[in-house]
Structure 1
Amino acid sequence: MTLSLSLADQIALELRADIIGGRLLPGMALVEAELVRAYNASRNTIREALHRLEREGLTRYVRNKGVVVRRLEREEVRDLFVVRRTLELQAIAQSGAFTQDQSERMQNAIEATALAREREDWRAVATHSLLVHQQIVGLMRSPLFDEFFAQVIAQLRLVFCAAPDEQRFQSPWLERDLEIHTLLANNNKLAAGEAMSLYLDDSERQSLALFTFP
């Protein structure tokens, strides 16, 4: 049975999607009055939605400024990769046979990444690449993990925004996503897991480097 979402939940999900899509960036203010007009909702509903985003680690309250999209700290980035290793590697190791439907959904996300790269839309490249990994976690067929990982990739998207050179930061991953998809399609879960482990090692190293200051 699917539970219906409250209006506050729907607004929170839309705002989270805007973060994943790179439309809401770290430091941006979420002005309550503007959101009331945009969503034709009450102030209490907007506040409830913003509280949900705060619980998900996506916003915070700044005195004299209000609610803003968060900038993550270095240790939080490290923790995100602990979560990624736990979920993505387990998803590959414990998944059943890679179905045609699963393959197509992952392939669609990879193709969207490739098209964005051709357009040199590096913000979209980052978004679609994260959605590839949402599909990997989806191999576990767990709505709870899917929802939790959606929050994780929203936080990761805020990390990626810190890259001073988006092209350089995002360029390496498309071929590696494609490699993992190919290994899964060939039912080579061991090699897919090894490729994912190396991917996450390199991605973590690159992400943490964004938070290294002289």
Structure 2
Amino acid sequence: MSNVLSLADQITLELRADIIGGRLLPGMALVENDLVSAYNASRNTIREALHRLGQEGLTRYARNKGVTVRRLGIDEVRDLFQVRRTLELQAIASSKPLREYQSDRMLEAIEASELAREREDWRSVGTHSLAFHQHIVGLMRSPLFDEFFTNVVAQLRLVFCAAPDEQHFQSPWLARDRQIHDLLADGDKQAAGETLAVYLDDSERLLLDILSHSSRH
């Protein structure tokens, strides 16, 4: 069985990475002609990649408007956090003692967030924090869950973009990510799970407040 990615696969991965990295924002148009030129790909290949992103809930197609990066609403946020609680809390509850390589990956994401905070790149702070939470799900050592959660992360990134003040939104989470890592490193997964549960409640509440406020204006 071949593991070689098709061009459409590669383009899908790159566009999804651009969403996770905050380079493609909600409402941005994904213009077929531009993508054909940018990727030196056929129109059919680009259409296949855009179709996959649509299936993943990352883009929307509207007649006469074409494909745009999706804006998520309150119902989608509630659903995303239901998924986060299910996967992240289960990953911690079922985890074995943290191995050195797992700790290293988490610390790399935390330290990258701290460096981004120092240069006041709040979008990158959010991206690296999401990477930390991908490593939590990675404790289950399930490639299927990892792949699924990457899509969840891409959708979360689109929600983060709704925050009118990214510094205000991103500032609280960095110290809490480190606290969760330290509890896991100390072998106290019950406290790590409890800390994460409060973290997810607070994050969801803040995002829902932001979205309900923006929908009123």
TM norm. shorter chain > 0.5: yes
Give the CA deviation at 1:11. 0.4
Query: What SS does the aligned partner of 1:67 have?
Result: strand
Query: What SS does the aligned partner of 1:41 have?
Result: coil
Deviations 1:155-187 (A, max 9, x none): 000000000011000000000000000001111
Report what 2:67 is aligned to: 67
* Segment of structure 1 superposing worse, 62-71 or 138-147: 62-71
For residues 38 and 46 of structure 1, what CA distance do their matches in structure 2 show?
10
Q: Does 1:204 align with 2:208?
A: no
| Aligned AA (1:77) | V
Give the CA deviation at 1:63. 2.3
Query: What SS does the aligned partner of 1:97 have?
Result: coil
Q: TM-score, normalised by structure 1?
A: 0.98
Runs of at least 5 residues in structure 2 that lack an aligned partner in the other structure: none
Report what 1:177 is aligned to: 177
Cα RMSD of the aligned pairs, angstroms, is: 1.0
For residues 35 and 86 of structure 1, what CA distance do their matches in structure 2 show?
36
Structure 1 moving runs of 4+ over 4 Å: none
For residues 73 and 190 of structure 2, what CA distance do their matches in structure 1 show?
33
| Aligned AA (2:65) | K
Report what 1:166 is aligned to: 166
Determine what percentage of the aligned residue pairs are the same residue.
74
Q: Does 1:79 align with 2:79?
A: yes
For residues 95 and 113 of structure 1, what CA distance do their matches in structure 2 show?
24
For residues 26 and 194 of structure 2, what CA distance do their matches in structure 1 show?
33
Report what 2:7 is aligned to: 7
Give the CA deviation at 1:2. 6.9
For residues 39 and 210 of structure 2, what CA distance do their matches in structure 1 show?
35
Deviations 1:52-72 (A, max 9, x none): 000000001122221000000
Report what 1:116 is aligned to: 116
Report what 1:143 is aligned to: 143
For residues 176 and 24 of structure 1, what CA distance do their matches in structure 2 show?
27
| Aligned AA (1:100) | E
Query: What SS does the aligned partner of 1:68 have?
Result: strand
- What number of residue pairs does the alignment pair up? 214
Query: What SS does the aligned partner of 1:212 have?
Result: helix
Equivalent positions of 1:15-30 (< 5 A) are: 15-30=15-30
Report what 2:56 is aligned to: 56
Give the CA deviation at 1:212. 1.1
Runs of at least 5 residues in structure 1 that lack an aligned partner in the other structure: none
For residues 79 and 165 of structure 1, what CA distance do their matches in structure 2 show?
23
For residues 4 and 100 of structure 1, what CA distance do their matches in structure 2 show?
31
